Chains A and B, each alone.
Chain A
Amino acid sequence: MKTPMIHALLRLCLILPLLGLAACSSTPQGDLTAYPEPTYSHERLVPEDIAERDLQAEIYDPWEGMNKRIYNFNYKFDRTVFIPVTNAWGRYVPGFAKKGVSNFFNNIRDVRTLVNSILQLKAEKAAQATGRVMVNSTVGLLGLIDVATNMDIPRPNEDFGQTLGHWGVGKGPYLVLPFLGPSNLRDGIGFLPDAYLQTELYGGFLAAPLRSTIWVFDSIDTRSQVPFRYYETGSVFEYETVRWLYSVKRDLDVEK
């Protein structure tokens, strides 16, 4: 671990599930029977076999109370720090520079894909990722230019969470990570080796002074590419919709 930020994050990932078990593992639910029945009550309208029908409700989330607290923390962090910084980045940094930074980090992420494709014995993806990294790291000037995409080399995406999933490790409980957002126990743990690999790679690519601040740019670049804004989807049920979409997408990514 080269950077304090990632170090802190990794530690949090390990501690959080324990915290969850200890502190706020269950969702508080008041005693509804003490109140008059609403016009459309659950009993009246929702079929009894809803558990089998409603896939959105199927995601295992025993730490919902804790997760929502972190979700709200992320919302506040987003509003006060993350989004203002990415907005400034978007406005004041010239397009070619932003593109270069994106390409640089994507090249590092391609290395992650390469390693994890090998770990899953996926030859085609490994070959594609190898091709990309080789081309972009040389002709593409250490990844600053994405030559591989112009050459039509597909860009697969594999990480250690998917590797664990590929070898049969279940998702585990849903988990909202501070700063990083939706995850689950498996992917949260899978984040550790990926982050370690990434930090080591920065070490290989970059001079010492850059190394310690690189995660800042990595985070800004990543956040800039995600248009999602907390509590602005127009759905009051955003937390569970995000939870469900994340889980579905990860299942598909593992199958892919």
Chain B
Amino acid sequence: MLSRSIRRGVVVAIALLIAAPLSALAQGDYRYPIVDRWVSTVVGTPSQIKAPLPPADSIPLRKRRVTVFPDRDMPEALWYDGKMLYTVALQKQDAAPVMFLIAGTGASHNGSKNLMMARAFYEQGYHVVSLSSPTWPNFVGSASSTGVPGHVFKDAEDLYRAMEVAWNDARGRRTATSYSLVGYSLGGLNAAFVAHLDSQRKTFDFERVLLINPPVNLYNSISLLDRMIKNIPGGEDNFDVFFNDVMRVFSDIYKREQDDVGFSDDFLVKVFQARQPKDEELAALIGLAFRMSSGSMIFTTDVITDYGFIKPKGYTIDMYESLTPYRQVAYRIGFTDFYHEFFYPFYADEYPGMSRDDFIETMGLSSITDFLREADNIFVMHNMDDVILAPGEINYFPAVFGDRAKIYPWGGHLGNMEYIENVAHMVGVFK
């Protein structure tokens, strides 16, 4: 088993050696090897060229639960999500800078990307407090004031409260010498608005804030992600068929394995090598993954608000009831449908006279552009070929952030986030 993975490593390494000089020739000296935006987004960073960081079990990562809203009654169907889950890693000495982390869409406080950042910043001497995305069902249930995530200003308030509650819950005898913040993907957009809020409230008075691959405008990005699922052969109606096909590919490769392997990263690489998927298939796969997490979020939101979107209004779902019919509906609803028929009507009353288009424009970085232009403690890392940005949107970052924006020539959406050079830059921003 060991030598087989070494052999595989050699194959990958050779492939990388061939690819790297080519890409270096093409543009500057950036050596992240995957230049296809879809492949990088799905595959990420091959383990051989990931930044060397202390392993997760060598740092004191602790998962904790804390009550954010003491008086909240959870609906029966979501009885287990009353407390907010988060992850913390505290330095041995009392006084240290604090780093808050915010995950991307549908990702949790202990997802692989947040844990990677936690390892990196713990190594740099930070007390690390890692939070889930406001779109993660547990956050929606336990820490969202409205139960309807996606509202950039309200999500920022919820996150701000969650950060205060989590740090007070975890700190014990520790003290913070300063506070900083990183968010990736939607968490990057969230981080910008949290920084904006902090400029008024000053509870944390952030030393530095870093946004990694954030969307510019929420609606533009979810539209792109919604459209990716249309790459499914035969269209969106073939959701189930495509899903089954994907599973069949996995199954065939699983059956050929002699060892009893689980569904690990190595396994994904194998699937990839065996199948050599086309870009359209990869786009469909990204769309599928997004659909599954947005489906969970939308259903959670519907149950908490009793809005009557998927579940009939007034009906209480029993703790032991089958959720199959709701899942079948939830997986068929695009995020844009949710946006127009739930999200916008839900908040529209608070913005009298504002058109739908203006509302969409408000839910993006452009509504705090002046703040971002002047805030010399806010930095950005992004990729020219990020798949969640509409054409031209990438130009927003150098235009507004100037030298505080680092734009890589390729890397897709977060594909290069764990790459050795990217992690070095990420950590370097805070020095």
Contact = CB atoms under 8 A, between A and B. Distances in A.
Nearest to B109: A232
Contact of A232 (B138, B293, B315): B138
B174 interface: no
A236 B320 contact: no
B403 interface: no
Interface in A112-165: 128, 149-150, 152, 154-157
A230 B81 CA distance: 11
Contact of A28 (B251, B320, B323): B320
B322 interface: yes
B247 A234 contact: no
A155 B259 contact: yes
Contacts of B328: 42, 45-46, 50, 54, 57
B296 A252 contact: no
A231 B312 contact: no
Interface string A8-46: 000000000000000010011110100111111110011
Nearest to A57: B324
Interface in B254-272: 254-255, 258-260
A236 B297 CA distance: 8
B332 A46 contact: yes
Interface string B292-326: 11011001101100001111111110111111111
Given A30-B315, A39-B309, A232-B85, A155 B260 contact: yes
B248 to A, nearest CB: 10
A256 B80 CA distance: 37
B142 to A, nearest CB: 12
A28 B316 CA distance: 12
Most buried by B among A36, A38, A154, A240: A38
B364 to A, nearest CB: 25
Interface string A45-57: 1110010011111
B327 interface: yes
A30 B318 contact: yes
A252 B138 contact: no
Contact of A38 (B106, B138, B292, B309): B309
Given A40-B310, A234-B138, A55 B240 contact: yes
A140 to B, nearest CB: 15
Contacts of B214: none
Contact of B320 (A47, A65, A256): A65
Contacts of A256: 255
B321 A29 contact: yes
A234 B329 contact: no
A156 B327 contact: no
A90 interface: yes
Given A41-B329, A150-B2, A237 B319 contact: no
B184 interface: no
Contacts of A235: 137, 292-293, 296
B244 interface: yes
A7 interface: no
B310 A69 contact: no
B260 A40 contact: no
A152 B258 CA distance: 11
A239 B321 CA distance: 11
A27 B137 contact: no
Given A46-B329, A65-B320, A255-B255, A236 B137 contact: yes
B333 interface: yes
B2 A149 contact: yes
B350 interface: no
A29 B326 CA distance: 13
A40 B329 contact: yes
A53 B316 CA distance: 28
Contacts of A42: 325, 328-329
Contacts of B292: 235
A101 B182 CA distance: 40
Contacts of A32: 312, 315
Interface string B321-359: 111111111101100010001100000000000000000
B57 interface: yes
A75 interface: yes
B14 interface: no
Contacts of B295: 237
A199 B244 CA distance: 40
Contacts of B326: 237
A38 B308 contact: yes
Most buried by A among B1, B106, B303: B1
Most buried by B among A155, A234, A239: A234
Given A30-B316, A38-B312, A42-B325, 20 more contacts: A24-B320, A27-B322, A28-B320, A28-B321, A30-B318, A35-B312, A35-B313, A35-B315, A38-B302, A38-B309, A39-B308, A40-B309, A50-B240, A53-B244, A149-B1, A150-B2, A152-B2, A232-B138, A235-B292, A236-B137
25 contacts: A27-B322, A30-B321, A38-B309, A39-B308, A41-B329, A45-B333, A46-B328, A46-B329, A46-B332, A53-B241, A55-B247, A64-B320, A65-B320, A72-B319, A75-B80, A152-B2, A156-B260, A230-B80, A234-B137, A234-B138, A236-B78, A236-B300, A236-B303, A240-B327, A256-B255
Lowest 6 CB-CB distances: which A-B pairs, in order?
A35-B312, A53-B240, A157-B260, A154-B258, A231-B80, A237-B327
